[in-house]
């Protein structure tokens, strides 16, 4: 008999006050904040053990999508909606921080959107990039306000 595979993942919706540091092209980094409804996934129906990998993937995708949407609306720059998110470490600001960007982003028709912060690691990186924190036990986490401001200051000092 074959084993049945479940495509159902138990989850809860929770409202979070999310902070992140974002870049658009060669622009200076900015702090973005907002309330988001995010899913927390669990390993079973009792909802006692968080599925860290699945929850982290959802957090990355949702926070990136919403931040990207806000920034691009300000520049009246279209977004192709196709995402291949790449996560790289940011040891210059701390080993726990990650920069996330969309490798599938098409070049902007209106702006020079090459990500200057990633020029030495991925010269083809374009558009928006965000900073999140990776906790060894909790997976990807958004930033708290003071932490976001501290990261912003470190990044500005590096540029």
Using a cut of 0.85, tell me whether the model's pTM lies above it: yes
CA–CA distances in Å: residue 85 to residues 60, 102, 120, 126: 8, 5, 18, 12
Q: How far apart are the C-alpha atoms of 31 and 38, rounded to whole Å?
A: 19
**b/e string for 141-150 if b means 16 or more Cβ within 10 A?**
bbbeeebbee
Q: How far apart are the C-alpha atoms of 146 and 153, rounded to whole Å?
A: 11
DSSP line for 24-48 = ETTSPPEEEEEEEEEEEEBSSTT--
pLDDT at 82: 85
Stretch 41-56: mean pLDDT: 92
pLDDT per residue as tens digits for the range 67-122: 999 998 888 887 777 889 999 999 999 999 999 999 988 877 778 888 989 999 99
pLDDT at 75: 83
90 C-beta neighbours (distance < 10 Å), count:
20
Q: How far apart are the C-alpha atoms of 15 and 12, rounded to whole Å?
A: 10
DSSP class of 3: P
At residue 4, does pLDDT exceed 70?
no
DSSP class of 89: E
Look at 80 and 139; give whichever has higher pLDDT: 139
């Amino acid at each position: 008999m074959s084993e049945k595979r479940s495509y159902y993942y138990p989850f809860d919706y929770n409202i979070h006050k999310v902070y992140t540091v974002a870049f658009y092209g060669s622009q200076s980094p900015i702090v973005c904040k907002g309330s988001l409804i995010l899913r927390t996934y669990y390993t079973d129906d009792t909802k006692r053990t968080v599925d860290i990998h699945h929850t982290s993937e959802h957090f990355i995708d949702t926070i990136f999508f919403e931040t990207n949407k806000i920034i691009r609306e300000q520049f009246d720059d279209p977004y192709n909606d196709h995402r291949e998110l790449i996560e790289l470490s940011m040891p210059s600001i701390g080993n726990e921080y990650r920069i996330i960007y969309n490798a599938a982003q098409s070049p902007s028709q209106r702006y020079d959107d090459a990500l200057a912060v990633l020029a030495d690691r991925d010269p083809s990186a374009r558009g928006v990039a965000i900073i999140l924190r990776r906790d060894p036990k909790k997976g990807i986490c958004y930033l708290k306000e003071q932490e976001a401001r501290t990261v912003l200051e470190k990044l500005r000092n590096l540029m």
